[in-house]
Homo-oligomer: A and B are copies of this chain.
Amino acid sequence: MTTIKLTGNVRLRNPIFIEGLPGVGNIGRVAVGYLVSELKAKLLATLYSEWFFPFVMLHDKYMIHLLKNEFYYVKATKKGQRDLILLIGDCQSLAPQGHYEVSEKILDFCQKMGVQEIITLGGLATGDLESPGKVVGAATSEAMMKKYSKFKIDFNAGDKVGYIVGAAGILPAIGNERGMDGLCLLGQTSGFPIVTDPKAAESVLNVMVGILGLKINMGKLEKKVEEMEDFMKKVESLQRKAIGEISKAAKPPTGEELRYIG
Which residues of A does B touch, CB under 8 Å? Answer: 1, 5, 22-24, 28, 46, 48-66, 92-101, 104, 122-127, 137-142, 145, 155-166, 168-170, 172-174, 176-177, 182, 184, 186, 191, 193-194, 234, 237-238, 240-247, 249-253, 256-262
Contact = CB atoms under 8 A, between A and B. Distances in A.
Contacts of A170: 54-56, 66
A116 to B, nearest CB: 16
Nearest to A54: B99
A176 B48 CA distance: 12
Contacts of A55: 163-166, 169-170
A165 B252 contact: no
Nearest to A66: B173
A193 B139 CA distance: 31
Contacts of A142: 63
B258 A238 contact: yes
A242 to B, nearest CB: 6
A61 B172 CA distance: 16
Is chain A's binding surface mostly helix, strand, loop or mixed? mixed
A49 B50 CA distance: 15
Q: How many copies does the complex hold?
A: 4
Contacts of A194: 253
Nearest to A170: B54
Given A96-B53, A96-B246, A163-B55, A241 B261 contact: no
A64 B184 contact: yes
Contacts of A141: 63
Given A61-B155, A66-B174, A168-B261, 15 more contacts: A48-B174, A54-B97, A56-B138, A62-B157, A63-B138, A63-B142, A124-B261, A125-B260, A161-B261, A163-B238, A165-B262, A191-B259, A237-B253, A243-B252, A247-B250
21 contacts: A22-B262, A28-B262, A48-B177, A54-B170, A56-B163, A56-B164, A56-B169, A58-B164, A62-B139, A62-B156, A66-B177, A123-B261, A123-B262, A125-B260, A168-B261, A191-B259, A237-B256, A238-B258, A243-B249, A244-B250, A244-B251
